[in-house]
């Protein structure tokens, strides 16, 4: 009889565990993001997963069946079929979607490194000031926020509707330099070994352009949970731990050596008024300038 009672107790406990496990599966909420285009996207999806792990809800990240263009992804955000995206902020982005105003790259993407043609380094080593930048032509995407910032600084910008065209336009002397986010430069040069391109060695152009998570307006509760998680990892040190522990960030900081570069700072007149520039804990000091 004792043995039978023990078996019943064990069975009851197993049913409770299985029931709890099943409930957790049912309670999991999918968070859809655009399909990853390359391994670099792992940094952002990993950070998203970390922040959402602080919620009392269970979130499960999934992605679209195919890689969508930026414009299609943003349209999908508007209709709610994509929950979260990320990118440089602007008044339009903050109007169309719910911004989580904590820079996911801790200011790193506000540091622009130039892609140039191999053999052109000497020309760029002569550039000392923002006025000197007016002597060269830059390539950028037609609708990019960076394009507006560079033009507002009085710089010459040659535009393309397709990002991939810009590498070939640089090689073809259509312009002299292609500014990229610090974490993008090395990856993109290495992804075009057929072109004689190089990373410029002396300069870093800095202007404030935080990279945020943006949430579809269809999911305000998700936006609150994501903001809570981002604030939590900032407060308990997990954000810095994740940032400096990321292979992408380690390769970037080691490869571009920001502290050894000559910094030229530009204004961003299009920075949204709500940008929390006063919160110094959000921005890491990544250069010695």
**Domain contains 46:** yes
pLDDT digits (tens, 9 = 90+) for 126-138: 999 999 999 999 9
Nearest to 256 by CA among 136, 115, 87: 115
Q: Tokens 């996911």 sit at which residue? A: 104
Average pLDDT value for residue range 84-89: 94
The answer to the question of residue 20 being in a domain is no
The residue-averaged pLDDT of 188-196 equals 93
- Report the CATH number at residue 34: 3.40.190.10
One domain for residues 192 and 128: yes
Last residue of a domain, one of 206, 231, 253: 206
193 and 217, same structural domain? no
Same domain, 131 and 172: yes
Residues 101 and 215 in one domain: yes
Statement to judge: residues 133 and 201 lie in one domain: yes
**Are 112 and 101 part of one and the same domain?**
no
- Please provide the average confidence, as pLDDT, over all residues in the chain: 89
pLDDT tens-place string over residues 10-35: 555 544 444 444 444 456 799 999 98
Is 73 within the bounds of a domain? yes
Q: How far apart (Å, rounded) are the C-alpha atoms in residues 24 and 84?
A: 22
* Residue 197 and residue 139 in one domain: yes
Classified as helix, coil or strand, 29 is strand
Tell whether 261 is covered by a domain.
no
- Residue 177 located in a structural domain: yes
> Which whole number is the average pLDDT over 166-190?
94
Q: Do 152 and 241 fall into the same domain?
A: no
Buried b (16+ CB within 10 A) or exposed e, 264-280: bebebeebbeebeeeee
Whether residue 266 is contained in a domain is answered as: no
Residue 155 · residue 163 · CB < 8 Å: no
One domain for residues 214 and 100: yes
* Domain-terminating residue out of 158, 184, 206: 206
What is the average per-residue pLDDT within 106-115?
Answer: 95
Mean pLDDT of the 164-184 span: 95
Mean pLDDT of 251-268: 94
CA distances from 102 to 18, 34, 79, 213, 279 (A): 38, 20, 24, 8, 10
Whether the per-residue pLDDT at 85 is higher than 60: the answer is yes
**pLDDT tier at 2 (50, 70, 90 boundaries)?**
very low
Looking at 179, 206, 233, the residue that finishes a domain is 206
User: What is the domain count for the chain?
Assistant: 2
Task: State the pLDDT at residue 35.
Answer: 85
Asked if the model's pLDDT at residue 43 lies above 50, the reply is yes
Residue 70: predicted pLDDT: 83
Range of the domain at 72: 29-106+210-245
Tell me, what's the pLDDT at 28?
Answer: 77
Q: Indicate whether 289 belongs to any domain.
A: no
Closest CA to 99 of 109, 107, 111, 91: 91
Whether residue 192 sits in one domain with residue 117: yes
pLDDT of residue 51: 98
Please check whether residue 126 lies inside any domain of the structure: yes
pLDDT band for position 38 (50/70/90)?
low
Q: Which token pair is 42?
A: 């792992």
The residue-averaged pLDDT of 260-280 equals: 94
What per-residue confidence (pLDDT) applies to 171? 97
Q: Region 97-101: what's the mean pLDDT?
A: 98
Is pLDDT above 60 for 87? yes
* 214 plus 137 within the same structural domain: no
Q: What is the DSSP string of 212-280?
A: EEEE-TT-HHHHHHHHHHHHHHHHHSHHHHHHHH-HHHHHHHHHH-GGGSEEEE---TT--TT--TT-G
Residues 59 and 136 in one domain: no
């Amino acid at each position: 009889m004792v043995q039978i009672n023990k078996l019943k107790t064990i069975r009851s406990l197993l049913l409770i565990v299985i029931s709890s496990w099943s409930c957790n599966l049912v309670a999991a909420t999918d968070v859809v993001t655009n399909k990853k285009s390359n391994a670099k996207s792992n940094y952002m999806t990993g950070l998203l997963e970390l922040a959402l792990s602080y919620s009392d809800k269970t979130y499960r990240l999934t992605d679209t069946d195919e890689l969508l263009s930026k414009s299609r992804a943003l349209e999908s955000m508007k209709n709610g079929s994509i929950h979260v995206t990320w990118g440089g902020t602007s008044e339009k982005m903050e109007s169309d979607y719910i911004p989580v105003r904590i820079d996911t790259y801790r200011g790193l993407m506000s540091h622009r490194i130039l892609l140039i043609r191999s053999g052109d380094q000497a020309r760029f080593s002569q550039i000392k000031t923002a006025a000197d930048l007016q002597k060269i032509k830059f390539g950028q995407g037609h609708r990019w926020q960076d394009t507006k910032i560079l033009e507002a600084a009085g710089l010459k910008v040659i535009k393309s509707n397709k990002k991939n065209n810009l590498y070939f336009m640089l090689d073809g002397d259509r312009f002299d330099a292609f500014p990229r986010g610090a974490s993008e430069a090395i990856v993109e040069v290495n992804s075009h070994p057929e072109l004689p391109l190089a990373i410029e060695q002396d300069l870093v152009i800095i202007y404030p352009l935080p990279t945020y998570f943006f949430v579809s307006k269809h999911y305000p509760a998700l936006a609150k949970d994501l903001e809570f998680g981002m604030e939590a990892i900032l407060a308990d040190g997990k954000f810095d731990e994740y940032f400096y522990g990321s292979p992408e960030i380690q390769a970037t900081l080691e490869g571009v050596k920001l502290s050894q570069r000559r910094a030229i700072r530009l204004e961003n007149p299009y920075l949204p008024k709500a940008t929390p520039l006063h919160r110094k804990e959000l921005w890491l000091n990544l250069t010695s300038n």
